[in-house]
Amino acid sequence: MARPRKQLLSRDIILEAALELVATQRDFTITGIAQHLGVNPSSLYHHMIGGKDEIIEALRERIYREIDLRALGGAESSWQSTIEYWVLAYREAVARYPSAIPLLLGRTVGDAPTLALYEVLTVALTEADVPREQHLTVISMLDALVFGSALDAASPDPLWLCTADGQPALHRAGAADPAPDRIGDGLRLGIRAAISYLEASRALLPSDRPGVS
Amino acid sequence: MARPRKQLLSRDIILEAALELVATQRDFTITGIAQHLGVNPSSLYHHMIGGKDEIIEALRERIYREIDLRALGGAESSWQSTIEYWVLAYREAVARYPSAIPLLLGRTVGDAPTLALYEVLTVALTEADVPREQHLTVISMLDALVFGSALDAASPDPLWLCTADGQPALHRAGAADPAPDRIGDGLRLGIRAAISYLEASRALLPSDRPGVS
DNA sequence: ACCTGAACACCGTTCAAGT
DNA sequence: ACCTGAACACCGTTCAAGT
């Protein structure tokens, strides 16, 4: 009874269960994964020595690996469409696992899929003639857009308990029209704003490249 | 010994300690607050019946109350400067308590300071002639900017473990120049992008108000 | 009224024991 | 090699007991 005839666990099985929890449940615990797999919590440590931290890193890797980068950065696509696709695809992947978002934020990352994701964006910024010392700045702004939108989607509705008397403008805003896809609209608005801004800055640069006005 | 001569706790004392923890420490626990006050954890429940949730709500109220709204929305200030000030002041208040950020996100709010904060922004959007049904969309985008920037500031440095061989563009971006205030730059860039976009959309509107071109 | 201390149901993690 | 079960140090929360 201490050891089953067939192997019950593997790194892959554990991560699959973790992904499912993080996509459906509100909280994400070692105990929860173990229960989901019908196994003792301590058993997980034979496959994930790093514990919860290692699981989170592996989750990020899996989530970002789902983003298809092949459609990006080809010579035929403009930097505008690359940035647009990057934000949309990134945010779609993240929003699929809402309860993973707080786990992913603010951690040092070194896995290949994540680095590849940001490398592709940086190349696009180079093509957009963004000065090199501003790359991190623009990246952090687009990052904010992605996670802000994903968080917005995971937020309760209504987000504000406002009243027509106390906060008339906010109340009217909430009452105004269904707005079929507010979250998506916000994201697209942010993308357009960012690209317009980059295009405007670009027009001010000294044109030391052929074909650039 | 079960009861001291002088009162040890009060709602105010507890919240002050919680604010201090959330500003300095990495984690925020009931036990931590109690230790900080030299008191038994269970004692807190005599003043905060709602437990940790109530403390978080009260923290938000205190943090946002520090934002000075008097400088906003006056008849003499443009909607552009209102939005700019709103984002800057909001983000400054939030960034002061980095470990509170995950606690504040995605919760239904009903306290007066928070509602006042968003009411002021919504009024500015009205003045900017943003159609009412787009108010929530724009708010969510500016929200993303605020929290994205605050999270960025709380993130470890370096955020990516990239190599010159594996991710050349990203590596160059990280190596390029000190960038004195990257976070602030990202925020200001986002603000300018948003305002430019709102100004451009505004120019496309039917001018049914006098003085609007 | 106000605080303590025991108690409970949870966490994540370690480790000796079983097969 | 692989899983269990006891154990430990933590959480948040409740409640009877003390003054």
* Substitution target from A136, A199, A204 for chain B, most B beta carbons within 10 A: A136
Task: Kindly state the average pLDDT of the residues B120-133.
Answer: 95
The closest CB to that of A185, out of B137, B147, B152, belongs to: B137
Neighbours of A188 (CB within 10 A): 17
Local confidence band at B3 (pLDDT 50, 70, 90 cut-offs):
low
Query: According to the model, what pLDDT value does residue A181 have?
Result: 87
Query: According to the model, what pLDDT value does residue B1 have?
Result: 53
Say if B118 is an interface residue toward chain A (CB within 8 Å): yes
DSSP per position, chain A:
--S-SS----HHHHHHHHHHHHHH-S---HHHHHHHHTS-GGGGGGT-TTHHHHHHHHHHHHHHHTS--TTSS-TTS-HHHHHHHHHHHHHHHHHTSGGGHHHHTT--B--HHHHHHHHHHHHHHHHTT--GGGHHHHHHHHHHHHHHHHHHHHS-SSSB---TTT-HHHHHHHHS---TTHHHHHHHHHHHHHHHHHHHHHHTS---STT--
DSSP per position, chain B:
--S-SS----HHHHHHHHHHHHHH-S---HHHHHHHHTS-GGGGGGT-TTHHHHHHHHHHHHHHHTS--TTSS-TTS-HHHHHHHHHHHHHHHHHTSGGGHHHHTT--B--HHHHHHHHHHHHHHHHTT--GGGHHHHHHHHHHHHHHHHHHHHS-SSSB---TTT-HHHHHHHHS---TTHHHHHHHHHHHHHHHHHHHHHHTS---STT--
In whole angstroms, C2 C1' to B48 CA is: 13
Q: Is the Cβ pair B145, A147 closer than 8 Å?
A: no
Query: According to the model, what pLDDT value does residue B213 have?
Result: 44
Sign of CA dihedral B162, A103, B101, B20: negative
Condensed to tens digits (0 to 9), the pLDDT of residues B56-108 reads 999 999 999 999 998 886 777 899 999 999 999 999 999 999 999 999 998 99
Residue B120 has pLDDT above 90, yes or no: yes
Query: According to the model, what pLDDT value does residue A27 have?
Result: 85
Tell me what the pLDDT averaged over chain B comes to.
91
Nucleotide with minimal C1' distance from the CA of B53 is D12
Does residue A29 reach within 7 angstroms of strand D, measured from its CB?
A: no
Condensed to tens digits (0 to 9), the pLDDT of residues A104-124 reads 998 999 999 999 999 999 999
A86 vs A141: CA distance, rounded Å: 13
Q: Name the residue with higher pLDDT: A85 or A207.
A: A85
Residue A208 has pLDDT above 90, yes or no: no
Condensed to tens digits (0 to 9), the pLDDT of residues A1-26 reads 566 778 999 999 999 999 999 999 88
Local confidence band at B26 (pLDDT 50, 70, 90 cut-offs):
confident
Neighbours of A35 (CB within 10 A): 14
Neighbours of B134 (CB within 10 A): 20
Length of chain B: 213
The closest CB to that of A137, out of B109, B159, B189, belongs to: B189
Percent of chain B predicted with pLDDT > 90: 78
The CATH architecture of the domain made up of B11-177+196-203 is Orthogonal Bundle (1.10)
**Farthest CA pair distance, chain B:** 75
A106 vs A115: CA distance, rounded Å: 15
Q: Is the Cβ pair B160, A109 closer than 8 Å?
A: yes
In this structure, of A84-88, A183-187, B37-41, the range with the lowest mean pLDDT score is A183-187
Q: Is the Cβ pair B193, A193 closer than 8 Å?
A: yes
Query: According to the model, what pLDDT value does residue B207 have?
Result: 59
CB A45 within 8 A of CB A51: yes
Does residue A30 reach within 7 angstroms of strand C, measured from its CB?
A: yes
Q: Amino acid identity of A99?
A: S
A109 vs A103: CA distance, rounded Å: 12
Nearest to A108 by CA among B160, B202, B76, B134: B160
Q: Amino acid identity of A208?
A: D
In whole angstroms, D2 C1' to A55 CA is: 19
- List, as own/partner pairs, every contact residues B7-13 make where C-beta atoms lie below 8 angstroms and the sequence separation is at least 24, other chains included: B8/B37, B8/B38, B8/B39, B8/B43, B9/B37, B9/B39, B9/B43, B9/B44, B9/B46, B9/B47, B10/B47, B11/B47, B11/B48, B11/B58, B13/B37
Task: Kindly state the average pLDDT of the residues A82-91.
Answer: 96
Residue B212 has pLDDT above 70, yes or no: no
Q: Name the residue with higher pLDDT: A64 or A201.
A: A64
Q: Is the Cβ pair A148, B152 closer than 8 Å?
A: no
A79-95 helix and A51-65 helix, angle to the nearest 10 degrees? 130
Domain ranges of chain A: 11-177+196-203
Most confident of A193-207, B93-107, B172-186: B93-107
